[in-house]
């Protein structure tokens, strides 16, 4: 069982923030204020969510889980959709994709009795799935815009030769999905060797036997891997069509 971290010990965590801030000033990176405020915001958000989770865990399972999942999905979709600014309906698409992925993963967990339908199990694990899906979607949207911009000439040439939008975009779609998946693929290759994943570490610190902690980590790691893959694929397959008009011509995507 891990020892309780005192308020005094928490205060000294400021030294971990001072290191990157000092390096920023030393190398004139201009990130000092951003690092400080990001750290302060992150700590504040974590404390607030801690109190919120304490309250939600005291509610009926369905109520607590529904409230928190709704908040997480809305925030994640709004954040991820910023990377696709200018793409029509990107917020709605991102929201629906994350909802579909979360419902699919949750159905698998509950259907195969991997976890119980309790707030203290569903919310933390769903948060990891939603968070990684958010990152994958953001990467896919960002890469999509850059790829279509850089490959404009090739796409127009393919269209002029009679190719349909899906044919002209096929190679780009592969590159976009691959780029969104690579970070997760690399992480999965070295899991347990380079680092002990967060969930496994937390369970071990909480007094759970390492083998049991590994079981939970395998569940969440493979769930994240599947959700990242599906998120990147779905948002790419849906959104690439907005780069073409009804006459199958390439159109520019401009940010508002």
The whole-number pLDDT of residue 111 equals 96
The whole-number pLDDT of residue 16 equals 87
pLDDT digits (tens, 9 = 90+) for 44-89: 998 999 999 999 989 999 999 999 999 999 999 999 999 999 999 9
Is the model's pLDDT at 255 over the cut of 80?
no
Do 45 and 138 reside in the same domain of the chain? no
Q: Is residue 44 part of a domain?
A: yes
Residue in 217, 131, 218, 139 with CA at minimum distance from that of residue 176: 139
Average pLDDT, the chain: 89
Do 207 and 162 reside in the same domain of the chain? yes
Give percent of the chain with pLDDT exceeding 90: 58
Do 50 and 67 reside in the same domain of the chain? no
Residue in 111, 254, 231 with CA at minimum distance from that of residue 181: 231
The whole-number pLDDT of residue 1 equals 53
Q: Is residue 254 part of a domain?
A: no
The whole-number pLDDT of residue 2 equals 53
Q: Is residue 248 part of a domain?
A: no
The whole-number pLDDT of residue 193 equals 64
Q: Which element (helix H / strand E) includes 22?
A: helix 14-26
How does DSSP assign 96-127, residue by residue? HHHHHHHHHHHHHHHHTTSS-S-HHHHHHHHH
Residue in 155, 139, 61 with CA at minimum distance from that of residue 94: 139
Q: Is residue 249 part of a domain?
A: no
Spacing of C-alpha 104 from chain mean position: 16
pLDDT digits (tens, 9 = 90+) for 137-158: 999 999 999 999 999 999 999 9
Do 67 and 157 reside in the same domain of the chain? yes
The whole-number pLDDT of residue 204 equals 82
Is the model's pLDDT at 93 over the cut of 90?
yes
Which of 58, 81, 107 marks a domain boundary?
A: 58
Do 1 and 96 reside in the same domain of the chain? no
Do 31 and 123 reside in the same domain of the chain? no
Rounded CA Rg of the chain: 21
Is the model's pLDDT at 163 over the cut of 80?
yes
Do 50 and 71 reside in the same domain of the chain? no
Do 137 and 216 reside in the same domain of the chain? yes
The whole-number pLDDT of residue 26 equals 85
Full residue range of the structural domain in which residue 26 is found: 1-58
CB 196 within 8 A of CB 208: no
Q: Is residue 252 part of a domain?
A: no
Helix, strand, or coil here: 173?
Answer: helix
**φ, ψ (nearest 5 deg) of residue 142:** -65, -45
pTM of the model: 0.85
Q: Is residue 250 part of a domain?
A: no
Number of H helices, E strands in the chain: 11, 0
The whole-number pLDDT of residue 201 equals 79
Rounded to whole angstroms, how far apart are CA atoms 214 and 200?
A: 6
Q: Is residue 202 part of a domain?
A: yes
Residue in 177, 206, 172, 213 with CA at minimum distance from that of residue 192: 213
How many domains does the chain divide into?
A: 2
Give me 172's structure tokens: 């780009």
Rounded to whole angstroms, how far apart are CA atoms 255 and 141?
A: 13
């Amino acid at each position: 069982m891990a020892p309780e971290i005192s308020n005094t010990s928490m205060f000294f965590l400021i030294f971990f923030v001072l290191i990157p801030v000092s390096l920023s000033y030393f190398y004139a990176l201009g990130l000092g204020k951003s690092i400080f405020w990001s750290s302060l915001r992150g700590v504040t958000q974590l404390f607030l969510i801690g109190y919120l989770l304490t309250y939600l865990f005291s509610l009926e399972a369905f109520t607590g889980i529904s409230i928190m999942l709704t908040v997480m999905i809305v925030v994640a979709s709004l954040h991820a959709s910023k990377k696709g600014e200018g793409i029509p309906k990107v917020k709605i698409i991102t929201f629906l994709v994350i909802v579909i992925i979360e419902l699919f993963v949750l159905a698998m967990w509950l259907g195969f009795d991997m976890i119980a339908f309790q707030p203290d199990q569903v919310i933390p694990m769903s948060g990891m799935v939603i968070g990684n899906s958010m990152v994958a979607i953001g990467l896919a949207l960002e890469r999509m815009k850059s790829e279509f911009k850089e490959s404009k000439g090739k796409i127009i040439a393919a269209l002029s030769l009679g190719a349909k939008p899906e044919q002209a975009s096929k190679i780009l779609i592969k590159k976009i999905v691959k780029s969104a998946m690579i970070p997760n693929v690399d992480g999965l290759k070295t899991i347990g060797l380079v680092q002990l994943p967060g969930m496994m570490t937390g369970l071990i610190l909480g007094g759970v036997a390492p083998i049991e902690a590994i079981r939970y980590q395998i569940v969440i790691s493979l769930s994240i891997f599947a959700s990242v893959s599906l998120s990147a694929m779905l948002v790419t397959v849906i959104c690439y069509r907005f780069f073409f008009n009804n006459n199958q011509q390439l159109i520019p995507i401009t940010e508002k």
